[in-house]
Amino acid sequence: MTARARLWLDLALFAALFLGYNPAWTGVAVHEWLCLIAIVPLLFHVIINWDQTLRILSRFAEIVRATPKVNLVVDVALFVTAVTVMLSGLLISQSVMKAVGVTIAPSALWVSMHAWSADATILLLLVHFVLHWRWIVKTAGKLGRPRQNAADDPIVAIRLATRRLEAPPRGGQYATVPVTTDDRYRP
């Protein structure tokens, strides 16, 4: 996935999480549905950055710069708090669960955990943003330029990223087709 496509994915995820942070901004129903939908770009973000995370994990015990270690700790904490806010949000949901036919009486513990984990997620998201500030500025500077290849297309980039989840064929090799400028998923 190109840096341009990753930036668009990350900006969309950031916007969804920021808008979904406070139910008073959007209303409870929009808050719940928006945060539920945000799970998809969050999973793509994790999949796309999985190789980098594994590389940092393998070097974690070695003597390296402090930034990769801090980045890893922030990423893991962000993942844990995001999952906590999403699961606790489902357990106190009034709109989403009602739509699937489940009635829930939210307990004070889950409401408190949801509020705490939402605050922690936003704080860690801002720290994550600061840690990646140089990459964001550099990549955002390229947004006005024309696309160099099909992998700059967010739809093609997502398609390429999901190939990591496919099982390899019998030979142990992944069967991938190179993406060309004609290979676009456009309606």
pLDDT for position 153: 64
Residue 104: burial class (beta carbons within 10 Å; 0-12, 13-18, 19+)? middle
Distance CA 164, CA 2 (A): 15
Which pLDDT value is given to residue 158?
67
Q: Which tokens go with 159?
A: 């398609």
Percentage of the chain lying above the pLDDT 90 cut: 11
Q: Which amino acid is at 84?
A: T
* Long-range Cβ pairs for the range 177-186 (8 Å, 24+): 179/149, 179/150, 179/151, 180/150, 181/149, 181/150, 182/150, 183/150, 183/156, 184/150, 184/153, 184/155, 184/156, 185/153, 185/155, 185/156, 185/159, 186/153, 186/155
Identify the top-confidence range among 67-76, 89-98, 122-131: 122-131
Residue 182 — pLDDT band, cuts 50, 70, 90?
Answer: very low
* pTM attached to this predicted model: 0.54
